[in-house]
Amino acid sequence: MTNLFPVVQVLQQSTNKVELQLDISPDIAYFEGHFPQAPVLAGVTQLHWVVHYCKQYFPQLLDVLSVEVLKFQIMIRPHDSLTLTLDLSASNTIQFGYFKQGEKVASGRLKWALQSDK
């Protein structure tokens, strides 16, 4: 079976915030070919994971309307252990951040349509 996601542990969870620990296994399929001698996790994969976990932990979210202030500061490599924070605001916006040993790796903001908006 192809491994597409990291091993996840919920560190904290409330109505509007989730904090996850992500253990980045070297056998995650997204590392293949990106880059063979020094694998890194592509930014598009990081964003895909954020959308996936937003929908998992905030089921009222339906579709991403926009991505804002997206920044990738530090490369994610096999065997990294990260914290992913997802903060939901009253305006149906998720502020997210990936952190490695307290240092910001990537961050951004997603605006969402809600289930009831459709």
33 secondary structure, DSSP code: T
Per residue in 48-89, pLDDT (tens digit) is 999 999 999 999 999 999 999 999 999 999 999 999 999 999
- Beta strands per DSSP E along 4-46: 7-13, 17-23
Find the Cα–Cα–Cα–Cα dihedral 66, 15, 57, 85, rounded to 10°: 70
pLDDT at 114: 87
Domains in the chain, please, with CATH? 7-112 (3.10.129.10)
pLDDT at 5: 97
The predicted model gives 76-105 an average pLDDT of 97
Type of residue found at 112: W
Positive or negative, the CA dihedral 60, 65, 68, 73 is positive
